[in-house]
Structure 1
Amino acid sequence: MRHPVRPAGRFLHRLRAHLCQGGLIAYPTEGSYGLGCLPDYAPALRKVIALKKRPQYKGLIVIAADFSQLQPLLAPLTTTEITAITQQWPAPRTLLLPVRRRQVLPALRGRGRQTLAVRIPDLATARFLCGAVGKPLVSTSCNRSGKKACRTEREVRRQFGRRVMILSGRTGGRKQPSQIIDWVSGKRLR
């Protein structure tokens, strides 16, 4: 299924319904296609992990249109912290931030972890998608674990066929995945 990355009208309704029913989507991000679903729907998270053949202890990245979409998932932050964090974005920079434990499923944050990897993407179409859906989205690289990330629709179709709804569009062209930085320690993890 191929669809535009800037959905409108009837298609937007179909996209939201697809996600609410646990469907997966593939969509352009800064460097590759992302594989996504709603971050608060456990069956969809399990599908992503199974489809990628990803170890369950690893967490997943969540992207959003803006910081307000992320706040319900995160532990309370001071105004100063929010200002410092939001100055980091939009950018291909993922931050590990403390979570509201009961709001974030273990499959999303990773077993035993108290942080969540979050990003406001540099690619405007990815931000637009989150805004159009009205929620943040899981954004893990669209590939089987250990394989090269899909950079084109054709590669997504080859690896995943009809198991994901593909939103057509160009990636941002970055060669490297986003940086991952632990906000508390300042340590760069990727």
Structure 2
Amino acid sequence: MTLPPWRIDRIVQGLAKGEVIAYPTEGVWGLGCLPDLEASVSRILAIKQRSWTEGLILVASKISHLERYLDGLSGKERRLLERTWPSPVTFLVPDNGHTPSWIKGDHDKVALRVSQHPVVADICKALGAPIVSTSANPTGCSPALTALQVRQYFGSKIDLLVPGNLSGLKGPSEIRDLETGEIIRSRPVR
């Protein structure tokens, strides 16, 4: 589902004002905001009842949106990202000093993904930048799989619920350490 231009404009304006959005991804609904707005990120963490120390994912529609976080990678690491993305694979990339603490949490790596989901792609393309992506659920609960579940979990705590559908994965994205290749969280089955 591609979003109409008027809706994309509304989402971008809301994000710029610090709004928190809920949106569909490949396998679960996500909560998002602009990563440089600490107050918005703090709202997401409060809504989820999640500690800042755990860190959050940044999702983009193309690698160029993530350049500031990729500076310093080896050619081999860079080629692996280019071969893998866009896909529902999140990589833990060494922090090069450009990641705010409220995004990376208590870690020396930042979680990054280039998504092929049309809603995520539309939003990030319009922004020319990544957004925060974390599953839409209170800590300890299953991630929301429908817009209705998002509303049941969060009600009016979300500023904007972006329409759309999941892409068919059965759960959150795979998480892989870029340096070691270790799979931290397995890819869900379609």
User: What is the TM-score of this pair, normalised by structure 1?
Assistant: 0.90
Which residue number corresponds to residue 176 of structure 1? 171
Whether 2:39 is the aligned partner of 1:51: answer no
Distance in structure 2 (CA, Å) of the matches to 1:146 and 1:173: 23
Gaps of 5+ in 1: none
Q: Which amino acid aligns with 2:112?
A: V
Asked whether the equivalents of residues 147 and 161 of structure 2 are also in contact (C-alpha less than 8 Å), the reply is yes
Residues 73-92 of structure 1 mapped to structure 2, 5 A cutoff: 73-92=69-88
Asked whether the equivalents of residues 89 and 113 of structure 2 are also in contact (C-alpha less than 8 Å), the reply is yes
Asked whether the equivalents of residues 87 and 116 of structure 2 are also in contact (C-alpha less than 8 Å), the reply is yes
> Against the structure 1 CA distance between its residues 7 and 51, is the aligned structure 2 distance closer, same or farther, given a 3 Å change threshold?
farther
Which residue number corresponds to residue 62 of structure 1? 58
Distance in structure 2 (CA, Å) of the matches to 1:124 and 1:17: 19
Q: Which amino acid aligns with 1:52?
A: K
Aligned to 1:26, the other structure's residue is in SS state strand
Aligned to 1:87, the other structure's residue is in SS state helix
> Against the structure 1 CA distance between its residues 136 and 32, is the aligned structure 2 distance closer, same or farther, given a 3 Å change threshold?
same
Aligned to 2:111, the other structure's residue is in SS state strand
Residues 124-135 of structure 1 mapped to structure 2, 5 A cutoff: 124-135=118-129
Asked whether the equivalents of residues 75 and 100 of structure 1 are also in contact (C-alpha less than 8 Å), the reply is yes
User: What is the TM-score of this pair, normalised by structure 2?
Assistant: 0.90
Residues 96-111 of structure 1 mapped to structure 2, 5 A cutoff: 96-101=92-97, 103-111=98-106
Aligned to 1:100, the other structure's residue is in SS state coil
Q: Which amino acid aligns with 2:51?
A: P
Whether 2:148 is the aligned partner of 1:151: answer no
Which residue number corresponds to residue 117 of structure 2? 123
- How far has the Cα of 1:148 moved from its partner? 1.1
- How far has the Cα of 1:7 moved from its partner? 4.1
Deviation beyond 6 Å, 4+ runs, structure 1: none
Aligned to 1:155, the other structure's residue is in SS state helix
Distance in structure 1 (CA, Å) of the matches to 2:154 and 2:74: 42
Which residue number corresponds to residue 16 of structure 2? 20
Whether 2:187 is the aligned partner of 1:187: answer no
Aligned length: 184
- How far has the Cα of 1:126 moved from its partner? 1.7
Identify the match of residue 6 of structure 1 among 3, 8, 20. Answer: 3
Which residue number corresponds to residue 188 of structure 2? none
- How far has the Cα of 1:81 moved from its partner? 2.8
Distance in structure 1 (CA, Å) of the matches to 2:104 and 2:44: 14
> Against the structure 1 CA distance between its residues 5 and 110, is the aligned structure 2 distance closer, same or farther, given a 3 Å change threshold?
farther
Which residue number corresponds to residue 91 of structure 2? 95
Aligned to 2:184, the other structure's residue is in SS state coil
